[in-house]
Structure 1
Amino acid sequence: MKFGTKQLDLSEVQIMGILNVTPDSFSDGGNFNNIDHAIKQVQTMVNDGATIIDIGGESTRPGAVDVELQEELDRVIPVIEAITERFDTVISIDTSKAEVMQAAIVSGAGLINDVRALQNEGCLDVVAKSDLPVCLMHMQGMPRTMQSAPHYIDVVQDVMRFFQQRIQVCEQAGIKKQRIILDPGYGFGKTLEQNYQLLANQSQLLQVGLPILAGLSRKSMIGNLLNCSVEQRLAGSLSAAVLAALNGAKIIRVHDVKETVDAVKVFNAMVAQINN
């Protein structure tokens, strides 16, 4: 798949490194909202094997408050420009604002990653006018309230129907289906049981015929299951990453790049033998 000027082979699992330039993200808030610190972290993640760097300027953790447009622009655009100047890597912009998407595209982003699946005003138009791929994520509700009482008839089928509807809307807006990536939205408006139902049946989403991006790193579905803090979730995150890959994910979004790259190399070696 082409990501701006760069090509990534999605026949193999790719690792997306998370760079939150926010003061309040659930895991690493405040760590990288300084350009020098952000660039140093990008260098580490690229060296460790990340092929995509996902930059977010607005936390989407449960209970998170909205960030004003100008503040989000001030957080992410200088970082995108700095990364573009220094690294030959795919830059993903994690945003739900059309204006941020447009500014990020001009600054060198190669992927639009939207937790609201282009449902906010102007987003469909911005992406349609670009040639970039877009990741559509499923979320029930909004970040402030999404974990209050999530309810599904069948979580896998409900997520599938949501994707089919959004793909149709995207195509009608001029976004070709082959530009779309799907994110099941682990932890976004889902109970602990629903998250694991979705993970166990994630391969069903492949029926849509599009690549899957899975983001499970350090999430509460791991912490609540293992009764551990964010800092103690590495083993659970690695297990979840491998299971997501086993069930068809082609992009794994993570905080711990080096460890996940190693785990996926073991997974790829096994798959290569199966396919021989």
Structure 2
Amino acid sequence: MTVKTLSWGKHRLPLGERTLVMGILNVTPDSFSDGGKFERLDKAVSHARQMVEEGADIIDIGGESSRPFSDPVPVETELERTIPVIERLSGKIDVPISIDTTKHKVAKEALAAGASMVNDISAMRQDPEMAALVADAGVPVILMHMLGTPKTMQEAPHYRNVTREIIGFLNDAANRAEAAGIPRAHIIVDPGIGFGKTVEHNLTLIKKVGELQSLGLPILIGPSRKAFIRKIMETHCGHEVSPDSPVAEAGTQAAVAAAVLGGANIVRAHDVKTTVTTVRIVDAIRNAPD
């Protein structure tokens, strides 16, 4: 397996040597799984530190829910939710802090406060000033595929060939980022599990995640507690499965294992401790001698 290092500033992340885990910290009242749990500053900071202790390689902080059919929030609201947390964590944890936003004004303030990565679920399409900001800052960016916006993405999503179309989308997004001055070595791609996809689309993308390696870029995947997992299990269980249930987490770990075996480099997770265990075992299996 090819081993590369994602390097910028003081940070070094090994890619290929082992699977990296990105811990999710939603400081929102309405995120689908953990909305409202970490709105208080002390709880958010404590949870971030706990995830680092559990083995998170990156902490991803978001102040706007991207659950299906959600409405956008103003820049000021995102700033009020995220910046105090980043300021409290900056210099206190030894892993990179990622800001999950589509707005360049939020990203700019977050980077100034101590964040060192940008996770843009719109692949920098929503805000035309995002690419220049990332290029000037010299930080990595995650480019994700999504149909439309969170408000519209689940309105009958359709593809002729979901894997091929998403590879084409991500290739175009990476080329636009390079043209804006972002080094290709700083680009990470995410197929956007759950963002404008049916259950079958999500399953196909996890099954064929290795095909994204044709882009020559690190692959991040985020199946954590997504609706497709819950829908599959509801069919088998015969009752509703909540996002924070043990069943949803067990299903998440199955999806994580499949994605890592397929070639994913980074996994975005709510339950860092369990996910770290999963990826370490899968890494060991993947790297075992023939």
Q: Flag whether TM exceeds 0.5 (same fold).
A: yes
Superposition TM-score, scaled by structure 1 size: 0.97
Percentage of pairs with the same residue:
45
Q: Is residue 87 of structure 1 aligned with residue 93 of structure 2?
A: yes
What is the SS of the residue equivalent to 1:253?
A: strand
Distance 1:36 1:89 in 2: 19
Q: Which of 180, 184, 187 is the equivalent residue of 1:180?
A: 187
Distance 1:10 1:191 in 2: 30
Partner residue, 2:158? 151
Q: Which of 251, 275, 282 is the equivalent residue of 1:260?
A: 275
Partner residue, 2:260? 245
User: Are the counterparts in 2 of residues 14 and 251 from structure 1 also a CA contact under 8 Å?
Assistant: yes
List gaps (5 residues or longer) in structure 1.
none
Q: Which of 146, 158, 171 is the equivalent residue of 1:164?
A: 171
Distance 2:186 2:95 in 1: 18
List gaps (5 residues or longer) in structure 2.
1-5, 235-240
Partner residue, 2:238? none
User: Are the counterparts in 2 of residues 3 and 90 from structure 1 also a CA contact under 8 Å?
Assistant: no
Q: Is residue 236 of structure 1 aligned with residue 281 of structure 2?
A: no
**Which stretch of structure 1 is more off in the superposition, 93-102 or 83-92?**
83-92
User: Counterpart amino acid of 1:23?
Assistant: P
Partner residue, 2:3? none
Distance 2:13 2:105 in 1: 26
User: Are the counterparts in 1 of residues 23 and 51 from structure 2 also a CA contact under 8 Å?
Assistant: yes
User: Are the counterparts in 2 of residues 5 and 110 from structure 1 also a CA contact under 8 Å?
Assistant: no
Alpha-carbon offset, residue 271 of structure 1: 2.3
Q: Which of 11, 17, 22 is the equivalent residue of 2:23?
A: 17
- Count the aligned residue pairs: 275
User: Are the counterparts in 2 of residues 18 and 255 from structure 1 also a CA contact under 8 Å?
Assistant: yes
Deviations 1:38-94 (A, max 9, x none): 111012111111111000000000011111001101111111111114211110100
Alpha-carbon offset, residue 231 of structure 1: 2.3
Q: Which of 85, 100, 105 is the equivalent residue of 1:99?
A: 105
Partner residue, 2:12? 7
Superposition TM-score, scaled by structure 2 size: 0.93
Partner residue, 2:37? 31
What is the SS of the residue equivalent to 1:86?
A: coil
Distance 1:9 1:263 in 2: 18
Please give the root-mean-square deviation of Cα atoms over the aligned residues, in Å.
Answer: 1.1
Distance 1:251 1:145 in 2: 27
Indicate how the Cα distance of structure 1 residues 260 and 3 shifts in structure 2: closer, same or farther if over 3 A, else same: farther
What is the SS of the residue equivalent to 1:8?
A: strand
User: Counterpart amino acid of 1:230?
Assistant: P
Partner residue, 1:62? 68
What is the SS of the residue equivalent to 1:141?
A: coil
